[in-house]
């Protein structure tokens, strides 16, 4: 075991100077001994890059020629990075000095661990979990993602209830650790996703290759969240609904994928009606547009499916409907869910 394999923390920036000013100092102060910090820039139109060159001349900056989104932006930047581990870190994340080593040490214990995440807490309320990742990502049998510590809009306080290292289904892209070898083997992010759920798709593909995804509670980071697209954004609604269907089609066994897509179309229609009832007509239209985009790209997306599925790693899959448990049975916390 290499005690200190090389780690590259890579922050993808797009017009995020205010976050770099606020949070980059904590990243630069990280205590890990074999560390390179890299800023990938997605053709920002603010003065992010000039700010970095003046204030942080010691950091490497990789500039993309246009905004390729989260998925495409990272693919292009990481193709130019050499390290044993990549850490994909959002620009709106505050870290403490010792946030890297516990995760790397955990991942070094098993060659099957491809991806891991730290405990992700809210920057605004550091005693609460943060929406995007919390204590590790899970998924139900219909493809709905959720987290330990956050189910739909219910976010728990961190009371130590999720302080054990655990295999999960997906790790949050807000602070995602991945071995370079695994990144290369699975081909990185699916760029068609642009943004949102591309990390779940990545983890799902790795699980189909018999790798493991883990959560490390001994490392903590604090995430602002919603820095690029807020929760009310119709474009975010479009991406979430479309990308969720895409990852189900790509990664499930054929019969299972068809069943899930049919059920999800019906469930999505209920979400559309809910948006209309709330007066969010643009979000309702975004759900419809997501379905159209999914159907138009059916053949292209089907071509991305592996020719043969290996033994499926089902750890982190909840065998019931999280929608039913949350909205009908009023199970608001992960610890309340029946097995």
Nearest to 96 by CA among 27, 160, 13: 27
Q: Does residue 244 share a domain with residue 175? A: no
pLDDT of residue 225: 85
Q: How confident is the model at residue 307, as a pLDDT?
A: 76
3-class secondary-structure state, position 203: helix
Domain boundary among 223, 251, 279: 223
Instruction: Tell me the two tokens of residue 227.
Output: 């820095």
**Rounded Cα distance, 197 and 98, in Å:** 28
Residue 258 CB: number of other CB atoms within 10 A?
A: 13
Per-residue pLDDT of the chain (339 residues; tens, 9 = 90+): 468 999 999 999 999 999 999 999 999 999 999 999 999 999 999 999 999 999 999 999 999 999 999 999 999 999 999 999 999 999 999 999 899 999 999 999 999 999 999 999 999 999 999 999 999 999 999 999 999 999 999 999 999 999 999 999 999 999 999 999 999 999 999 999 998 999 999 999 999 999 999 999 999 999 998 655 566 799 999 999 999 999 999 998 777 889 999 999 999 999 999 999 999 999 999 999 999 999 999 999 999 988 777 666 778 999 999 999 999 999 999 999 998
- Asked if the structure places residue 218 within a domain, the reply is yes
25 and 50 inside one domain? yes
Among 189, 223, 257, identify where a domain stops: 223
The contacts of residue 227 (CB under 8 Å, 6+ apart) are 16, 19, 90, 91, 92
CA dihedral 148, 242, 258, 260 (to 10 degrees): 30
Predicted pLDDT of residue 254? 77
Residues 124 and 269 in one domain: no
Is residue 246 one of the residues assigned to a domain?
yes
Domain-embedded: residue 335: no
Number of domains, the chain: 2
Separation of alpha carbons 187 and 324, rounded Å: 35
Q: How far apart are CA 90 and CA 254, in angstroms?
A: 34
Helix ranges (DSSP H) in the chain: 17-28, 48-55, 69-78, 101-108, 180-186, 198-208, 234-251, 254-277, 281-296, 298-302, 322-323
Please check whether residues 276 and 127 belong to one and the same domain: no
Q: Are residues 17 and 58 in the same domain?
A: yes
Say if 325 falls within a structural domain. no
Please indicate, yes or no, if residue 331 is contained in any of the structural domains: no
| Residue bearing tokens 């290292």 | 165
Whether residue 113 sits in one domain with residue 11: yes
63 pairs with which residues across the strands? 41
Determine the pLDDT at residue 230: 62
Rounded Cα distance, 168 and 215, in Å: 7
The reply to whether 239 and 117 lie within a common domain is: no
Is 323 among the domain residues?
A: no
Note down the domain range covering 244. Answer: 234-309
Last residue of a domain, one of 223, 254, 274: 223
Task: Judge if 109 and 141 occupy the same domain.
Answer: yes
Give the whole-angstrom CA distance, residue 82 versus residue 62: 13
Q: For position 144, which CATH number holds?
A: 3.90.550.10
What is the predicted pLDDT for the residue at 228?
A: 52
The reply to whether 69 and 12 lie within a common domain is: yes
Whole-structure pTM value? 0.95
Residue 297 and residue 155 share a domain: no
Residue 321 domain-assigned?
A: no
- The DSSP symbol for 324 reads I
Pairing of strands 166-168, 212-223: antiparallel
Distance CA 136, CA 198 (A): 16
Helix axes 254-277, 281-296, angle to 10 degrees: 160
Same domain, 242 and 113: no
Query: Do the domain assignments include residue 320?
Result: no
In this structure, the answer to whether residues 64 and 213 fall within a common structural domain is yes
Find tokens 């050499």 and name the residue.
82
pLDDT, position 199:
98
């Amino acid at each position: 075991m290499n005690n200190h394999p090389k780690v590259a923390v890579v922050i993808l920036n797009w017009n995020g100077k205010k976050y770099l000013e606020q949070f980059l100092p904590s990243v630069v102060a990280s205590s890990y001994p074999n560390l390179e910090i890299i800023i990938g820039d997605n053709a920002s139109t603010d003065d992010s890059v000039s700010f970095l060159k003046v204030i942080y001349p010691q950091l490497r900056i990789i500039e993309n020629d246009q905004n390729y989104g989260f998925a495409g932006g990272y693919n292009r930047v990481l193709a130019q990075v050499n390290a044993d581990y990549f850490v994909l870190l959002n620009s709106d994340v505050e870290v403490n000095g010792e946030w890297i080593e516990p995760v790397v040490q955990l991942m070094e214990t098993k060659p099957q661990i491809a991806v891991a995440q730290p405990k992700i807490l809210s920057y605004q309320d550091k005693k609460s979990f943060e929406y995007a990742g919390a204590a590790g990502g899970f998924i139900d049998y219909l493809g709905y993602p959720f987290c330990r510590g956050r189910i739909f809009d219910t976010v728990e306080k961190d009371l130590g209830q999720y302080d054990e290292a655990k295999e999960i289904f997906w790790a949050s892209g807000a602070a995602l650790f991945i071995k370079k070898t695994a990144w290369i083997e699975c081909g990185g992010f699916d760029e068609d996703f642009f943004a949102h759920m591309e990390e779940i798709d990545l983890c799902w593909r790795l699980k189909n290759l018999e790798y493991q995804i883990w959560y490390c509670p001994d490392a903590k980071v604090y995430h602002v969240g919603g820095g690029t697209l807020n929760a009310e954004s119709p474009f975010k609604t479009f991406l979430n609904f479309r990308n969720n269907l895409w990852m189900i089609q790509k990664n499930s066994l054929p019969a299972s994928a068809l069943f899930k897509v049919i059920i999800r179309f019906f469930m999505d229609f209920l979400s559309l009606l809910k948006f209309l009832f709330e007066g969010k007509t643009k979000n309702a239209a975004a759900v419809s547009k997501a379905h159209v985009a999914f159907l138009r790209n059916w053949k292209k997306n089907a071509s991305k499916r592996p020719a043969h599925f290996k033994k499926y790693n089902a750890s982190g899959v909840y065998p019931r409907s999280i929608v039913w448990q949350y909205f009908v049975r009023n199970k608001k916390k992960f610890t309340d869910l029946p097995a």
